[in-house]
Amino acid sequence: MKLIFLGPPGAGKGTLAVRVKELLNAPHISTGAIFREAIAAKTSLGLKVKAIIDSGKLVDDETTIALVKERLAQADAQKGYILDGFPRTIAQAEALATFSPVDTVVNFDIPDPGVIERLSGRRVCRKCGFNWHTVFNPTKQEHVCDTCGGEVYIRDDDKPEAIGKRLEVYREQTAPLIAFYRAKGLLVDIDASPLVDEILISFKKAVGLQGL
């Protein structure tokens, strides 16, 4: 099953994707995570995108589309995948349709206050990328990942000055994708406000996977 997880930053797309990828045995492809890995490794891509990402703006379409096209050409993505954080513009969605049309787009519906609460408490493991939360899912020991022992940190773009910018960018550039995919009959909506176990139930219902 080829899936897009669409929704504002902090809607819980990455957290749900970790659960769904095990159910579907499909790769979780997060463009944000690929960019963060490139930044950590100081590759030419990482150096090019670091300032843009830290400010909360979007990386240009050409760079992002090329990256996703290459990733989706790999063997593990042929039967299905979960795209998290891509597409984020109409141009990206149109490009994706030419090289890998998707089956379903899951729209994570959550009001702004919920997003701000999630982003401001989010903590990410530098080593395994797992998303923790100071209130909803705290690590046992501060700054240390329970799963892999890696350092748990606050993403620069989760700092208050970048959160507002990211929500504005989402509204202007990404939210139009909701109407775009609805018109194509591909969109399903899920209420993303509850905790992940409940969202998983809504997700299974929405995509017809109750048996799993």
Interface residue list for ligand AMP (CB under 6 A): 9, 30-32, 35, 52-53, 56-59, 64, 85-88, 92, 157, 166
Considering the complex, state which of residue 170 and residue 203 has its C-beta at the smaller distance from ligand AMP: 170
Task: Give least dist CB 126 to ligand AMP, A.
Answer: 14
Question: Which residue number, 30 or 107, has a Cβ lying nearer to ligand AMP?
Answer: 30
Q: Is 71 a catalytic residue?
A: no
Strand order in the sheet with 2-6: 28-30, 81-84, 2-6, 104-109, 187-191
13 is catalytic: yes
Residue pair 96/197 in contact by the 8 Å Cβ criterion: no
Residue nearest to ligand AMP (CB): 32
Active site (annotated) includes residue 204: no
Scanning 41-158, the segments in alpha helix (DSSP H) are 44-55, 61-72, 90-99, 112-121
Please identify which of the residues 2, 21, 122, 123 carries the catalytic annotation. 122
Catalytic site includes residue 155: yes
The closest of 129, 157, 152, 154 to 142, measured between CA atoms, is 152
Q: CB 37 → ligand AMP: shortest distance, Å? A: 11
Distance CA 200, CA 55 (A): 31
Q: Which of 84, 107, 111, 109 is nearest to 20 (CA)?
A: 84
Length of the chain: 212
Least distance in angstroms from the C-beta of 58 to ligand AMP: 4
**88 included as an active-site residue:** yes
CB of 211 to ligand AMP, least distance (A): 30
Active-site annotation holder among 13, 21, 118, 123: 13
Catalytic residue among 21, 36, 88, 123: 88
Q: In degrees rounded to 5, what are phi and psi of residue 145?
A: -70, 130
Q: Which residues are catalytic?
A: 13, 88, 122, 155, 166
